[in-house]
Amino acid sequence: MPITLLDENGQAIATESTDGDGEFRFFDLPKEGASLTSSAPPPVIISEPQRQGFNFRGGMNLTPEFVALLLGLTIYTGAFIAEIVRAGINAVPHGQWEASRAVGLGTAATLRMIVLPQALRVIIPPLTSQYLNLVKNSSLAIAIGFPDLFYVGRIIVNQSGAEVQMILVVMATYLSFSLITSLFMNWYNRKVMIVER
Amino acid sequence: MSSQTTSSTWVNTNHPTPAGRPPASQVGVVGWLRTNLFNGFFNSILTIITLIVAYFVVTGAVRWLFNAYWAPVWANRKLFAVGPYPVDQLWQPALVLFMVTLLFGLSAGRWGSFLRSLAIGLGALLGVLALLPLGTQAQLVMAVALGLLIVGFVIGLRVAIGSRWLVLAWLISMPVTAVLLKGGIDLQRIGITWSFAPFVNPGLYGGLMLTMILAVVGITLSFPLGVLLALGRRSKLPVIHYFSITYIEVIRGVPLITILFLAMAMLPLFLPKGWDSPSGLVRVLTAITLFSAAYLAENVRGGLQALPKGQYEAADALGLRGWHKLRFIILPQALTKVIPAMVGQFIGLFKDTSLAALVGLLELVGVARAVIQQPEWLGVPGGVAKEVYIFVAFVFFIFSFGMSFASRKLETRLGVGKR
């Protein structure tokens, strides 16, 4: 397919044809050619992701909504978890650090083998509720127009008018997610808990 | 060496060398840098990388801040403050502001402690707003509010007002606010109608004012409900016990947004036949209150569980029963223990009020969403969403920060975790 580049005045500057893959490249463009427009419609290329050089070409993009949701929830929850972990590490007596030093462990080993296992006991319960919050906060996707469960629920409400039933279904879904998360974290909590005699 | 030796005693006249100053590299700015930022190879590299990143982030942010397009925020300052409230009746919210600042000043003067710091923050905020060219009337309102804050503070310092009266005044201020904003009392169902100004539809409340209404009413109403639920969960009566558990766990297991939508759809179904359909404000308030009560109940339960069993037994031994035991022995201790947790919960509730925008209320976020859609800003490259949302985030931050500051002060004063 022939492609023609025009400048602002509609003057043709260069012409080129696409190759078999629908790709084209202009050579010897004038310096002012930064804001050129193409006369022909861009070729429709159905592509699949392919490794080319150091990058993938083609394929699909993540939607801005999804990335916004992912980044927003990650950063927001990350700040809360940072505070929880800090509180947990602070809860380990200072003597534990010193004792660990005394037996000759380095900083990393101290953290991994002495401090974190004890801190986890303090961290897990608030971390559980933070994860539950995360599950529930994911419903905020509706605020930025990401089609999550709640969004689909709204569409069904619009089409059927069965608002109460739909909200109850959505609530039941979130409730089951919450309960499953809660069960898992409680199991893990029992695992890291101090075995008392 | 010039020690003198006499027959029986030996006196060392050799004064010890006075301790010299530590080397310059160990004290002062350099010493602090060395101990905190450059104590080792990896930490030095980490410091340098952090500094470089911080430099780019800060300069980028500052550059953006000064080049951003703030016109939408400035042009809609009235919307952000009170929403679409009728312009010729703005004296009503102004009166509410006066009442609240006066009460706040009185409380800060009377009770002191963290309230005093908060009052200083509030005063600074009002002062800045009074100096900004918001418009003559708005500036005047802010200046008067600041004046009332100071007057209230001085009166609170000088006059010993009973704490009970002050609490009562705060409680009364809420229905008074409702009447002032509405422009009268409109209870046709029980035949009371009285007005001093044209009635204002609650749908026209908005902006920061609505956010505050939602937060304050939500906090006030959810507190007693939460305490009741916490007591219910520890009750020995099976019906109350299991009802409380089910309520708390179900509410805590679902997102607030579903409860908001449920309240919007279902609240009219619970009212007697023939009642007016409640306004969106009432529905959202109900949802927020019911939601927050469940979380508060768990906080209060933590306080109840932390109380030694001896306290209950001692109260029994004194012959206190039921309500007296709760009122004088259990609740004062249990609630004091969990004040920081409850303040955290209240900050969460304050931030959660932004969800009311999703069910159509024009609180801060609702106003932001409306402002972004205004046709005036359609031609702005890149849209105005960034500026508007950053402004709203800043407003939320100011108030949340104030509350968490107050909570930290309170924590130190009560000595939670120190005993």
- Render pLDDT for A56-94 as a digit per residue (tens, 0 to 9): 666 677 788 889 999 999 999 999 999 899 988 888 888
Buried-exposed string B363-379: b where 16+ CB fall within 10 A, e elsewhere: bbbbbbbbbbeeeebee
Tokens 């009371």 belong to which residue? B192
CB contact, 8 Å: B262 with chain A? yes
- Give chain B's domains with CATH numbers: 28-67 (no CATH), 86-199 (no CATH), 207-419 (1.10.3720.10)
- Establish if A168 belongs to a structural domain: yes
- Establish if A197 belongs to a structural domain: no
Residues A52 and A138 in one domain: no
**CA dihedral of residues A112, A113, A115, A119 (deg, nearest 10):** 80
Residues A149 and A178 in one domain: yes
- Sign of the torsion formed by the C-alpha atoms of B367, B370, B376 and B382: positive
Residue B54 region, left (φ>0) first, then alpha (ψ -120 to 50), else beta?
Answer: alpha
Residues A132 and A180 in one domain: yes
Residues A95 and A162 in one domain: yes
Amino acid at B133: P
Q: Which residues of B touch A185 (CB under 8 A)?
A: none
Q: Which residues of A touch B (CB under 8 A)?
A: 132, 136-137, 139-140, 142-143, 150, 163-164, 167-168, 170-171, 174-175, 178-179, 182
Nearest alpha-carbon partner for B260 in B239, B230, B281, B233: B281
Residues A97 and A186 in one domain: yes
C-beta atoms of B258 and A167 within 8 A: yes
Residues A22 and A69 in one domain: no
Residues A108 and A18 in one domain: no
C-beta atoms of B253 and A175 within 8 A: yes
What are A5's strand-pairing partners? A14, A38
C-beta atoms of B262 and A139 within 8 A: no
Phi, psi of A28 (to 5 degrees): 55, 45
Nearest alpha-carbon partner for A142 in A69, A34, A83, A74: A69
Task: Give the number of domains in chain A.
Answer: 2
Residues A73 and A125 in one domain: yes
Spatial contact of B226 and B292, defined as CB atoms under 8 Å apart:
yes
* Mean pLDDT for the stretch of residues A107-126: 87
pLDDT tens by residue, A49-62: 777 776 666 667 77
Cβ neighbours of B31 (radius 10 Å): 14
Distances (CA, A) of A48 to A18, A64, B4: 19, 20, 99
Report which DSSP code applies to B382. Answer: T
Residues A142 and A157 in one domain: yes
SS3 state at B193: strand
C-beta atoms of A164 and B266 within 8 A: yes
Q: ipTM of this model?
A: 0.70
SS3 state at B192: strand
Spatial contact of B315 and B330, defined as CB atoms under 8 Å apart:
yes
| Identity of the residue in B250, B252, B257 whose CB atom sits nearest the CB atom of A150 | B257
DSSP letters for B91-108: HHHHHHHHHHHHHHHHHH
Q: Which residues of B touch A179 (CB under 8 A)?
A: 253
Both tokens of residue B234? 């520890």
On the question of pLDDT at A178 being above 70, the answer is yes
Both tokens of residue A25? 């490249």
- Sign of the torsion formed by the C-alpha atoms of A105, A107, A111 and A112: negative
Spatial contact of B204 and B86, defined as CB atoms under 8 Å apart:
yes
C-beta atoms of A136 and B254 within 8 A: yes
**What is the pLDDT at residue B102?**
94
Angle, vertex CA B12, rays to CA B10 and CA B14, nearest 5: 160
Domain boundary among A57, A77, A101: A57
Cβ neighbours of B289 (radius 10 Å): 22
Distance from CA of B355 to the nearest CA of A (A): 8
Residues A38 and A71 in one domain: no
On the question of pLDDT at A104 being above 50, the answer is yes
For chains A and B, count residue pairs whose Cβ atoms are closer than 8 Å. 48
In whole angstroms, give the CA distance from residue B145 to residue A192: 55
Nearest alpha-carbon partner for B330 in B417, B240, B231, B236: B231
CATH classification at residue A167: 1.10.3720.10
Domain boundary among A57, A72, A93: A57
**What is the pLDDT at residue A35?**
54
> Closest residue of A to B366, CA-based?
A143
CB contact, 8 Å: B255 with chain A? yes
In whole angstroms, give the CA distance from residue A186 to residue B263: 31
Distance from CA of B209 to the nearest CA of A (A): 22
C-beta atoms of A150 and B258 within 8 A: yes
Distances (CA, A) of A35 to A9, A44, B126: 12, 22, 50
Residues A33 and A71 in one domain: no
> Closest residue of A to B359, CA-based?
A143
- Sign of the torsion formed by the C-alpha atoms of A180, A183, A189 and A190: negative
What is the residue-level pLDDT of chain B in tens, covering all 419 positions? Answer: 455 555 677 777 777 777 888 777 777 788 888 777 787 888 889 999 999 999 999 999 999 988 888 889 999 999 999 999 999 899 999 999 999 999 999 998 888 778 888 899 999 999 999 998 888 889 999 999 999 999 999 998 888 888 889 999 999 999 999 999 988 887 777 777 888 888 888 889 999 999 999 999 999 999 999 999 999 988 889 999 999 999 998 998 899 988 998 888 888 777 777 677 788 898 999 999 999 999 999 889 888 888 888 888 898 899 888 888 888 888 888 888 888 888 888 999 999 999 999 888 999 999 999 999 888 888 888 788 889 999 999 999 999 998 888 888 877 777 654 44
| Most B CBs within 10 Å, among A83, A136, A137, A182, to test the B interface | A136
- Establish if A7 belongs to a structural domain: yes
The helix or strand, by DSSP H or E, that contains position A38, with its residue range, turns out to be strand A37-38
**What is the pLDDT at residue B418?**
47
CB contact set of B257 (below 8 Å; sequence gap of 6+): A139, A140, A142, A150, B355, B358
**What is the pLDDT at residue B28?**
78
No. of H helices and E strands in chain B?
18, 4
C-beta atoms of A140 and B257 within 8 A: yes
Domain boundary among A34, A57, A80: A57
Phi, psi of B417 (to 5 degrees): 80, 0
| Identity of the residue in B258, B266, B269 whose CB atom sits nearest the CB atom of A174 | B258
CB contact, 8 Å: B57 with chain A? no
Distance from CA of A10 to the nearest CA of B (A): 26
| Identity of the residue in B250, B252, B261 whose CB atom sits nearest the CB atom of A167 | B261
Residue B228 CA to chain centroid, in angstroms?
23
> Closest residue of A to B360, CA-based?
A143
Spatial contact of A117 and A193, defined as CB atoms under 8 Å apart:
no
Residues A72 and A50 in one domain: no
Both tokens of residue B73? 């925020």
**What is the pLDDT at residue B141?**
92
A144 or B189, which is more confident?
A: A144
| Most B CBs within 10 Å, among A131, A154, A171, to test the B interface | A171
- For A118, the domain range is 64-192
C-beta atoms of B256 and A175 within 8 A: no
**What is the pLDDT at residue B26?**
74
A186 or B55, which is more confident?
A: B55
| Identity of the residue in B252, B258, B266 whose CB atom sits nearest the CB atom of A170 | B258
C-beta atoms of A163 and B250 within 8 A: no
pLDDT tens by residue, A28-45: 666 655 555 555 566 666
The helix or strand, by DSSP H or E, that contains position B11, with its residue range, turns out to be strand B10-11
Q: Which residues of B touch A163 (CB under 8 A)?
A: 261, 265
CB contact, 8 Å: B252 with chain A? yes
